[in-house]
Structure formats: structure tokens, C-alpha cells
């Protein structure tokens, strides 16, 4: 059981580093003056899920969920 605990701890550290990198890769959400004239409603704004930003958002959700699940499993195992 101790080896499994070390493996889970390593995966948890790796998942947290991946989450940090993914969040740092995402661009800021400020629109500046472009939001006044409706600049956000472009083709790329409507099809955001297929873009690089959409993939980063999905990867963030997956990495955060993995981080939470691994943390809970590790707490349950250590008791």
C-alpha cells in the first residue's frame, strides 16, 4: 500500500504542474475597447470550442478534476 501511496503522490504532483502550465498558457479574458463595439462576436468567438483556447479550457477542467479526485483518493488511502 505504501508504494501505491508514493505513486499517487507522484501523479498528484505531476497533475498539479500540468494544471499550472495550462493555466499560464491561457490568454487573458480582458477585451479592452473591443468589447464596446461587439468585437467579441466574431467567427472565432462563436466557434471557440474548436480553437486552441477552447482546448486549453477543456484541458484545464480535466486537469482540475483529476487533481481533486487524486487528492481525495490519497487522503482516503492514508487514513
- Please list the ranges in the chain whose pLDDT falls under 70: 31-49
Q: What is the pLDDT of residue 6?
A: 94
Q: For residue range 25-47, what is the model confidence (pLDDT) as tens digits?
A: 998 877 655 556 555 555 555 56
Cell reading at 60:
484545464
CB-CB neighbours of 70 under 10 Å: 18
* SS3 of residue 71 by DSSP: helix
- Exposed e or buried b for every residue in 2-35, given b needs 16+ CB within 10 A? eeeeeebeeebeebbebbeebeeeeeeeeeeeee
CA distance 53 to 77: 36
Q: What is the pLDDT of residue 15?
A: 94
pTM here? 0.71
Across all residues in the chain, what is the average pLDDT? 84
Cell reading at 8:
499517487
Amino acid at each position: 500500500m505504501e508504494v501505491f501511496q508514493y505513486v499517487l503522490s507522484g501523479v498528484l504532483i505531476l497533475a498539479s504542474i500540468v494544471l499550472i502550465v495550462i493555466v499560464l498558457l491561457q490568454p487573458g479574458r480582458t477585451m479592452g475597447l473591443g468589447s464596446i463595439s461587439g468585437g467579441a462576436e466574431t467567427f472565432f468567438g462563436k466557434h471557440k470550442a474548436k480553437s486552441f483556447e477552447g482546448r486549453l479550457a477543456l484541458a484545464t477542467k480535466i486537469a482540475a478534476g483529476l487533481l481533486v479526485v487524486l487528492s481525495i483518493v490519497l487522503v482516503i488511502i492514508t487514513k
